[in-house]
Amino acid sequence: MIATTVLAASPAGAGTLDQVPIHLPVGPDRVYDSRAASGKLFPFQERNLQTGIDSSEVFGITVNLTVTQTEGAGGWLAMFPGDISWPGTSSVNWFGPGQELANNAFVRIPDSGLITVRCGGQGPTQFVIDIIGASGLVDASALAAVQEARATANFDTWSEQ
């Protein structure tokens, strides 16, 4: 679940706060798996998914979109806001049967909270969506704590354990 209190936009009529966009990592959290839902998505099919996200608090999400159990010579999935037609883009592509591939995608959240996933190419696929980030607006003064945390963070070289 996205911590929307951190990302909340100012209420209507609340005066003029200096609002700045911010992107926060969340999760990863599995939010959809077609293998446990409606099954494979076939070429030229679209699946509308209700996110339950309030677009006044979070205007976009970053996800890891994975295709699994692919069929056919190749294909693609496109993820986009549910209030528009397919914009002609893809979010992840596969090039043969039995592949498991993942890619990140950023999706604007429309007022309806719907996102659409569209399949194209020559074969169907199962797919999985893991949320990994959320974008929203915060009062500029709230960034002081974030800047302080960044200033004291330890980003030394990682080592194997």
Question: Per-residue pLDDT tens for 34-91?
Answer: 999 999 999 999 999 999 888 888 899 999 999 999 999 999 999 999 999 999 999 9
**Mean residue pLDDT across the chain:** 84
Question: What does the alpha-carbon distance between residue 100 and residue 69 come to, in Å, rounded to a whole number?
Answer: 7
Taking a C-beta distance cutoff of 8 angstroms, is the pair 131, 58 a contact? no
Q: Please determine, for residue 141, whether its predicted confidence score (pLDDT) is greater than 70.
A: yes
Residue 19 CB: number of other CB atoms within 10 A?
A: 14
Q: Please determine, for residue 158, whether its predicted confidence score (pLDDT) is greater than 80.
A: no
Residue 158 DSSP one-character state: P
The secondary structure of 99-146 as a DSSP string is: --EEEEEEEE--TT-EEEEEEEESS-BEEEEEEEEEEEEEEGGGHHHH
Average pLDDT over residues 114-127: 95
Band of residue 126 on the pLDDT scale cut at 50, 70, 90: very high
Give the domain ranges of the chain. 24-140
Average pLDDT over residues 9-15: 45
**What's the pLDDT at 97?**
95
**What's the pLDDT at 2?**
44
**What's the pLDDT at 80?**
97
Band of residue 160 on the pLDDT scale cut at 50, 70, 90: low
Fold of 24-140: Jelly Rolls (2.60.120)
Higher pLDDT residue, 84 or 158? 84
**What's the pLDDT at 152?**
67
Band of residue 153 on the pLDDT scale cut at 50, 70, 90: low
Q: Please determine, for residue 3, whether its predicted confidence score (pLDDT) is greater than 70.
A: no
